[in-house]
Every structure is written in structure tokens, then in C-alpha cells.
Amino acid sequence: MADQSSFDAVFDSPVGKLGIQVQGKILCRLGFLSGRYPLKQAQRTETCKVQRAILCYFDNPLAVPDIDFQLSGTLFQRKVWCALRRIPAGKVMTYGALAERLGTGARAVGNACRRNPVPIIVPCHRVVAQQGLGGFAGDHEGRLTKVKHWLLQAEGVEIRN
């Protein structure tokens, strides 16, 4: 578990606690946190704005959150994350189909999704298995897959396992 001090704010959302790290006005990290994290109020105006924009997504999951963000990762990861941004809200794509589009393997796409530093903003939850939901953030049957299911359902997508 990451140290709470690494987040500029920890707040409640419909899918549980979220932690955000903001540098300047740029979102660098968004994490789905366990209940062990205490809430942490945003201290800076920029962090409050990012937090509000993320919470607005939960009010209207079909809208794209208006947040500047930074993606730190390999060239391949950034290529996958860019492709994820082109999947519209309310739609899904399989790991295999995205891999084919990018000329790579489904496992490589899944690994890039797992390392996504800003889920929701870069919607890795919209990538699903050929048969069913698939994993989410490295989780295959726990709390985070329930978060993925919730996010998709809020966007109007029903996936049955």
C-alpha cells in the first residue's frame, strides 16, 4: 500500500476512496484505495479542482472529465493509454481487439492497462475480456473488479461473467 502522504487528497466516491496526486495543475496519479486510508482534504485550489472534476464524472459518467493529466510510462504504455482514450463512454473493446489494432498481444495490453496511472481519466475499465469482465488494476475477482463493473454499469454497459 502506498503511503497516504503520497496523495494530495483522499476522498470518498461512489466506488470507494480515491487518492489523487497533483503537480501544479496536472493530475499525475489516481488510485482506488482500500478503506484503511484516512480521508485527506485537498489543501490547494488546483487539487480541489481536480477532485471536483473527478467527482463530476460520477454524476455524469458519459461525460469526459476535463482534467489535465500526465502519463509517465514507456512508449508502448503511452500508446495503449492513448488508444484507451479513444474508446467512448458507454462502449467497450476486448483486450484482443485492442491488441490487434495496436499490433501487439492481449497480455501486453492488459499489462499496460494495469499500470495506468490515471484510471477513469484514461478509461482502462472499458477494456474487457473476450468472455466477461476481465481484470482491473491487477485484480481478477476482488474489490477492484467490482469497481470496474460499477464504472461500466454507470456508463450503461452490462457485462455478464
The reported pLDDT for the residue numbered 159 is: 81
Please, is 98 exposed, middle or buried when counting C-beta atoms within 10 Å of its C-beta (0-12, 13-18, 19+)? buried
d(CA 25, CA 142): 33
Question: From the CB of residue 106, how many other CB atoms can be counted at a distance below 10 Å?
Answer: 18
Q: What is the DSSP letter of 25?
A: T
Please, is 80 exposed, middle or buried when counting C-beta atoms within 10 Å of its C-beta (0-12, 13-18, 19+)? buried
The reported pLDDT for the residue numbered 35 is: 80
Beta bridge partners of 145: none
Any residues with CB less than 8 A from the CB of 135 and at least 6 apart, and which?
110, 114, 129, 145
Give the predicted TM-score (pTM) of the model.
0.91
The reported pLDDT for the residue numbered 5 is: 63
The reported pLDDT for the residue numbered 1 is: 41
Q: What is the DSSP letter of 135?
A: -
By annotation, the residues acting in catalysis are 124
Which parts of the chain sit beneath pLDDT 50? 1-2
Nearest alpha carbon to residue 114 among 155, 84, 93, 87: 84
How is residue 52 written as a grid cell? 471536483
Q: What is the DSSP letter of 4?
A: G
The reported pLDDT for the residue numbered 158 is: 87
The reported pLDDT for the residue numbered 139 is: 83
Q: Angle at the Cα of 158 (from 129 to 100), degrees rounded to 5?
A: 30
